[in-house]
Amino acid sequence: QVQLVESGGGLVQAGGSLRLSCAASGLTFNAYTMGWFRQAPGKEREFVAAITWSGGSTDYADSVKGRFTISRDNAKKTVYLQMNSLKPDDTGVYYCAAAYGSIIKAKRRPDYWGQGTQVTVSS
């Protein structure tokens, strides 16, 4: 059974930083492109960042470029999202996702989802 478990969310002031982690089990982690998505209250879930199985390629939403960094540790079966210069608009539930395939697939239709972790940025 595939499990993606996010952690690291919380309450932070604008301008602060958080580091999210997503621990994976039940899948061949280094065969999957991993991604992060978020959903703000009253809005649809949106793509945030993705990283290929090797870590050689990444992609980011325009709204987070230059502030967020996605990385992975295949030995630990964990993907990270370092979030700096946080803004109130970054508030939402952040979801980890796994896709067997390209970043394009990861952005459009991941195979697995985590349960999410809440990030709240106060102004």
How far, in Å, are 26, 30, 107 from residue 61 at the CA level? 28, 23, 10
- Give the integer Cα–Cα distance in Å for 84 and 59: 17
pLDDT-derived band at 30 (thresholds 50, 70, 90) equals very high
| Residue 77 parent element (H or E) | none
pLDDT-derived band at 17 (thresholds 50, 70, 90) equals very high
- Give the integer Cα–Cα distance in Å for 97 and 108: 11
Tens digit of pLDDT for each residue in 34-67? Answer: 999 999 999 999 999 999 999 999 999 999 999 9
Tens digit of pLDDT for each residue in 70-111? Answer: 999 999 999 999 999 999 999 999 999 999 999 999 999 999
As a whole number, mean pLDDT of residues 1-23 equals 98
